[in-house]
Chain A
Amino acid sequence: MVKRILIVDDEPHMLRITELSLKKGGYEILTARNGREALESAARELPALIVMDVTMPEMDGLTALQQLKAAPATAGIPVIMLTSRGQSIARETAEASGAALYLTKPFSPSALAAEARRVILASEPGPLTECG
């Protein structure tokens, strides 16, 4: 089954860049424009990974991250937080709240795709089949 990644960013350009960067890895992409939409989408779709910006209107990324980790259904979904340079407090909070990784913007498409693949693999259980 194709794995799904939820991308959360209020800035349309960043959303598109992140989407294109990850789509090439063969993932199905879901998008949300703020933390509140992200919570709804994550609970409904249970994606394999969430890539979320910190600064967003309505509900920021750190609040959304804390709520995702507090809900049993979504607590296991790994989250990569996107921080701008100079947001060291946000980075520390993200780490404390259980983010799998933070990336500083701007990031290259290949770096994001490689990190997404690594984080998803690390979050998966081992193979279950015996098939040769």
Chain B
Amino acid sequence: MQAIPPILGETCTREIPCELPAVVELCQQAREFFARAGLPALEIDGWELALAEASNNAVKYCRPEARTIAIRVDLVASEEWMEVRITDHTPGFDWPDKAELPPDDSESGRGVFLIQALTDESQYLRGRGVNCLILRKRRAPAEAAVPAVPAVPAVPATPASPPPDRVDQELQEARHTLDLMTEELASSYESLSAIFRFTAELQRDDEAGDFVPRWLGELLAVVEADWFVLRLRDSGVETLRMASSSSPEWQSGPIQLLLDSPHGAFVEAQAALRRSDVWIETSAPLAAHDPLLHFAAGGCGLAHPLFVNDRLMGVLSIGRRDGKRPFQAGEVNVIQTFGDFLGLQTRNRQLQEAQVRARLNTRDLEIAANLQQALLPKELVSIPQASLSCYYRSARAIGGDYFDVYPVGKGNLLLVVADVMGKGLPAALFAFMFRSLLRARRDLAARPGEYLAWLNQNLFQELDQAEMFITAQIAFLDCEKGEICVASAGHPPLLIARPTGAVIEVSAGGPPLGIDADPTFSEARQSYADGHALMFTDGLMEARNPQGDLLGLEAIKAELASATRRGESNEATKSRLVRLLQSFEQNAPAADDTVFIVIVANK
């Protein structure tokens, strides 16, 4: 709701007791004022009706304990506008932007409809125990105005020479009204200028960090408050986290937004859960352990929930210290305006950050994908003694699977498969480091255990710091001896299937790289000359079907045994394993990268 600026003009202020007969007298006095101001009779009738409706409501719905307080009515006449302000002491209600005519059988709602129909603008400012209804109507053009006949002829419309005490009284009333209007104008001006300044500052990223405390510091000055606490809702979690307060040294843990938690009784949680302002006042002490006790014990204030499109952004609490007066309607309006604007800006900032994050993530994944592609061998080397086939499949996110095959010495081969824990750029970077180190010490190829120990020695510190690890398997294919020498670092076993159908699991080695500062890695030697060997990463045996079941090691072993018994080629064996994978997954999305290398001895 936008505040309407006050108008300046001739003013009449009346304070009437909270009783219906007083309303009748008020209406008569108002008619006199309207007549003196030169309003046509028809408009005077309309204003009288609107004033009577509003004043009757102020009397009827007044809180019992406030019945001794006078109802104040200000009448203001400028050249263009007429304005009526009624200050009531009811609990207040939500003033509709545009009231509909209620059904014939409805007991209520007609008054508001009538008031809105009889005036051009209306606004209801709500405060704690005191509210102000502002009604305004543009005056008919001067030439059309017909001098009104006063309803009470006994009082002259424009007294020629009013008595001095009457002049003094009117002067005093006018000054008082002017003070109120100046105060409200100042508040509105401060609010607007702060909002403009704040919006301009938001464009400057270098100062983004402390805009909230400065912004709320301005609010404290505008409404003459002593303290504020801003909590923002953690995204996706039902907690309110401290974002800022007027005492930067003050610390407070998150508040859980659970109906039945001990935090549920805290003022800030109440405002968020009830989705409405909650007042802090001496007559209603705060719950034990309420964090706001630090500021508000014995004082007054309110907690205003910040909603944007029905989404809770946070809660702004603000107040005055012990002994000071509660906030008035105009001040509450300013607090709500500041708070709502802050909620909106917080939401905008969140959306902007999410966009930047999404862009960075995409870029991160692009870089990681490029790195990963650069790591993989462009073509497989071949040797007379064995034929190789490789399969590589990247999961939806970039992972850290890696494989390499390169010739060593006299017709021998080094085969490596590795899996860096995690995904994205960090995993790709570690895979890159692993490959660089691996290629730096080809002289260790014939001793895979020692090779792994050296790799671990050079990667341990970085992996440990990043809390990551790498599983790896190094196999040295000794073509002269027809043997394969294997060492693993926490990696799934290498499989060798014999023509008999037996499948051997070769799993010598030690822990993954990055787990232990100085581990030893054992080696195992097996003949590969009469069978099929398979190296793989865990993506193969942990492939899942739509029901969530794992493929498992036994299924892979059975397939490899069949291929060996049938004497299938390396490519046929690879196709067989790919078919196994695809038929098992039935198009279920792969969660992890999958790599395998088939090694078939040439007869």
Contact A131 B257 (CB under 8 A): yes
Task: Please measure, in the bound complex, the distance between the C-alpha atom of A92 and the C-alpha atom of B436, giving whole angstroms.
Answer: 46
Residues of B within 8 A of A12 (CB): 516
Contact with A along B298-318 (1 / 0, CB 8 A): 000000000100111000000
Tell me the count of chain B residues lying within 8 A, CB to CB, of chain A. 31
Interface residues on A, range: 20 to 34
Contact A17:B273 (CB < 8 A) given known A106-B490, A110-B592, A111-B538:
no
Interface: B542 (CB within 8 A): yes
Contact A129:B257 (CB < 8 A) given known A17-B469, A24-B422, A110-B591:
yes
Contact partner of B492 (CB less than 8 A), chosen from A106, A110, A130, is A106
Interface: B84 (CB within 8 A): no
Residues of B within 8 A of A114 (CB): 591
Contact partner of A17 (CB less than 8 A), chosen from B233, B259, B490, B492, is B490
Contact B258 A17 (CB under 8 A): no
Would you give the shortest CB distance from A87 to chain B, in whole angstroms?
A: 15
Residues of B within 8 A of A127 (CB): 238
Interface: B30 (CB within 8 A): no
Contact partner of B259 (CB less than 8 A), chosen from A24, A109, A128, A132, is A128
Contact A111:B259 (CB < 8 A) given known A20-B469, A130-B273, A132-B310:
no
Residues of A within 8 A of B422 (CB): 24, 109
Task: Please measure, in the bound complex, the distance between the C-alpha atom of A50 and the C-alpha atom of B3, giving whole angstroms.
Answer: 58
Contact B273 A13 (CB under 8 A): no
Would you give the shortest CB distance from B515 to chain A, in whole angstroms?
A: 5
Contact B421 A20 (CB under 8 A): yes
Which residue on A lies nearest to B238, using beta carbons? A129
Interface residues of A in 1-57 (CB under 8 A from B): 12-13, 16-17, 20-21, 23-24
Contact with B along A86-117 (1 / 0, CB 8 A): 00000000000000000000101111001000
Would you give the shortest CB distance from A105 to chain B, in whole angstroms?
A: 10
Task: Please measure, in the bound complex, the distance between the C-alpha atom of A114 and the C-alpha atom of B592, giving whole angstroms.
Answer: 11
Interface: B272 (CB within 8 A): yes
A-binding residues in B (CB < 8 A): 233, 238, 257-260, 272-273, 307, 310-312, 419, 421-422, 467-469, 490, 492, 511-512, 515-516, 519, 538-539, 542, 550, 591-592
B-binding residues in A (CB < 8 A): 12-13, 16-17, 20-21, 23-24, 106, 108-111, 114, 127-132
Report, nearest first, the 9 A-B pairs whose CB atoms are least far apart: A108-B538, A13-B511, A129-B238, A109-B421, A16-B515, A131-B257, A128-B258, A13-B515, A111-B542
Add 13 more A-B contacts to A16-B511, A111-B542, A130-B273 (CB < 8 A): A13-B490, A17-B469, A20-B515, A108-B538, A109-B422, A109-B469, A110-B592, A128-B260, A129-B258, A131-B233, A131-B238, A131-B257, A132-B307
